[in-house]
Each structure stands twice: as C-alpha cells, then as structure tokens.
Structure 1
Amino acid sequence: MITYSNDSVSIIFTDINFLETYKLYNDTHDFYNFLNSIEFNKDYYKIKLSTKYDHSNNNKMLQKSVEYLNKITKDNYIQITNSIYDLINESIVNEYCKYLIEKIIQHENYSNEYIFILKKLCDNYNNHNELNIYINNLYDLIIKKNINNNDYEKLCNHNKILDNLVGYYRMIIQINSLGIYNDINKITIDIIEQIKKSDDDNQYKYLQCLMSIIKTDINMINKIDNDLSSFLKTKKNKFLLMDIFDLKN
C-alpha cells in the first residue's frame, strides 16, 4: 500500500498533468453518461435528451432550442440560428451540438442549415475536441447496437444502420472544414472497406461518399486500392469509380 504525506498530495493535486488527466476523466465520464441516454426503437436510433437538466431553466432552454430545429427552412435558418444562439449557454452547448450532429446524419435535406448552426456554436464555444470524441464513439454506437431477436426487426435495423452509416460518413465530409473532426484519412479507408463488402445499391452510396471526400482532398485518392474495381459488379458503380479516378486529371 502506498502512502503519501500531506505535502506530496498537495504537489500531486497542483500538478498540471494531474489536472489535465482528471479533467479528461470527468469529460469522458460525462460523455458516457450521455451515450447511456441514447435509446433505440425498431426503425432507427434516436438521441434522447439527458434528463439531468429537468425542471431547470437550462432544460427549458435546451428543449426550446430543439423545437426551433423543427421549424427551420432554407429561408429562415439565419433567424432560427440567432434565436438558438440566444438560448444556448456553456452548460448545454455540448449536448445541443451532439443533437445537431444526429440531425445532420438523419436529415440530409436540411444538413447545410444544421451545419450553419453548428459552426456558429463551435466558433463561439470552442468545443471542437469534445465533439470529436463524440463523433468517434458515435460510429461504434451506430454499427454495434443490437435491438432484439426478431428477424424482421433485425432486417429493419440492418437497413437503417446502413442508412445511418452513409449519413455518418456524409456528416463527416460536411463538417470536415469546420475543424471538428480530425481524421478524414481513417474515414476514407473505412468507406473503401464498406464498398468491398456491400451490395450494389449500398456500394453506390459509399462511392458517392468517397467521391465527395476526394473532391475536397485529392490526396485521398491514393488510399483507393488497385483492386477496388474487382469488388464492383454493376456498370453504374464501375463508371462512378472511373469518375472518381478522373478527378485526379
């Protein structure tokens, strides 16, 4: 058993490395508590807002900010963003940004508007690191969460997981320029692996994601395996891969 004197303990508690490690522990603990608030139904995963702010002013502001997202259009998104910005504070910004990320994944039609809100909040609160941790862990949540043993519901879940995974990749590509996610190289490799093991329809979706990445960073084209074409069966997918390689010219 190790014992410490009062002086030794004081030194440890004021050491910068200890303080940083302890903060990381607290942040991680809070993050996993948030993950535990995510629930599934038979068709999709859905974020359930944490109840730790219940019956408080923060919770009211959080709920009101979420309601604004249901009213957003391509015409009013700036006004909606300003209204949300006035409600959000440092205590709830991370949870709200995580909810925004889920909306970007699931609702492509308004993803640009959601990203506009996300950028404004991230620029003001500088919470890029916290969201990067969340995004990395969200991938495991999407592909590993089980629902139940019913075969039909498993099939529904499998199809929705594929949709969410495509949405996840698309979200990564869209927010990459915001500096929130810092490993586009990893995602590129992962998409290529998904192409190899997917059916024709999903291959096309993943190839579209791959093309979007390479349009923003041509160097990612070097990650494509020489034999990738051999995993493609339809002419449509083979032609799309050819279009991707043509981006290099």
Structure 2
Amino acid sequence: MRVAAATYLKNFTRRNLETRLCSSEVYKEFRDQLAQALLRVEPAILRVLIEVFRQVVEKDFVKDNLWPELIPQLKLVIQSSNLISPGQHPEWNTINALTVLQSVVRPFQYFLNPKVVKESVPQQLEQIAAEILVPLQVTFHHFSDKVLLSPDGTNLEYEQLLLITCKCMYFTVRSYMPSRVKQILPSFCKDMFRILDSLNFNSLIEDGSTMKLKIAKRCLIIFCALVTRHRKHTDN
C-alpha cells in the first residue's frame, strides 16, 4: 500500500510539476516534507520517492536555483545522521541522506550548457563541494577503514555508504571540477587506491564481496573521469 501511494505521488508530481496546481507556500511545504520523509523511509519507499525528489531538485535547485536552504540543511542532516554521529538524530538514516545527496549532485554529471566553450562550474555545485563533499572526505576515510579492516560482507551498511559516496564524487567530477574538490583529491584518491588494493582475484568471488567489487568499479570509473577530463589536476 505504501509503495503504491509513493508511486502515485511520483506520477502525480511528474504530470503537474511544471503547472503548479497549488500556491508557492503549499508547494514549498510539500517540498520540505518530501525531503524530511526521505530521511526516514525504508529502502522500498526510498527508491520510489527519490525519483519524486529528483524531479523537484532538477527544476528548483539546478535549473531555477530557487532552493538556497537545501545544501545547508542537507549538510546538517548528513553530519547528524545515525552512522556519522550516533545518538544525535537516530531517525536520520545516513544511507538515505547520502542517497538524497546523490540525487542532488546527479544532474551535474553533464554540462548544463554544453554549447558554451569552457563552461564554468555552476555555483550550486561549488556549494555542494565546499559544504558537503570536503567534510565528507574525512567520513569516507573513516568508513574505508571500517570496511577494509573487516571481513567481506560484515559491514554492508558502510560498504553501501562508500558506494554512494563514490557515485556522488563521480557525478561531481564527470564534467566539472569544483575548486574545493581539488583540495581533497589526493586524500580521496589514496583511499580509492586502498580499496582497489584490497581486492583478491586469486580466490572465488563470494556473495559478501559483491558490494566491494561495485565500489572498486566505481573507483575505476572516477579515475577514468579524472584522467580524461581533468588531467592537469591529476598529474601533480
């Protein structure tokens, strides 16, 4: 029933987002309530509602740049979520929060104005990098330690967080290179090398190592983007 309701909301939003059938105040309340709900729902509902959120983000934050409070609020949520700051806000799920971040940064994987020669980094992406991705690098290192020091498959939550963070980083650098990301590249790349170095291809792949292989694949994709798009930053 809840999945069906979430699916109805997704389809309703897709049909009516541009026409705005309600006042701006009601719409903003809907937007805020949707963002709050994403932090608490179970995975099955999250997979549906995140598509609703993605539509809202692409219009309000990326295209129109009319959601200035989004990044400061998301930064607070991530820093206070259950796996990063246990005990502060146990109702804020870290996996959900980073999934929200992934949806926010996803549209920037492509140039917003591809016909513009040497398009500058969008201000929104610079803000994401400065306020969220730079502090998140320390967390990425911490989670990497937890995963690499444990047997495969015993820290699935942290492995999932590593994968989502890698996806966020990939979407960030696939086309653009925010100025603050340059500062964390050495540390971030070092952790990715550690993850790749931990792989063992001399034995059969077990179910518990599947997630780590996905993380490693994403690390390689990031390295490819860095070399092909941002060679001058990666050669140093």
Superposed pair shares fold, TM > 0.5: no
Q: Point out which structure has higher relative CO (alpha carbons under 8 A, 6+ apart).
A: 2
- Rg larger in structure: 1
What TM-score, normalized to structure 1? 0.41
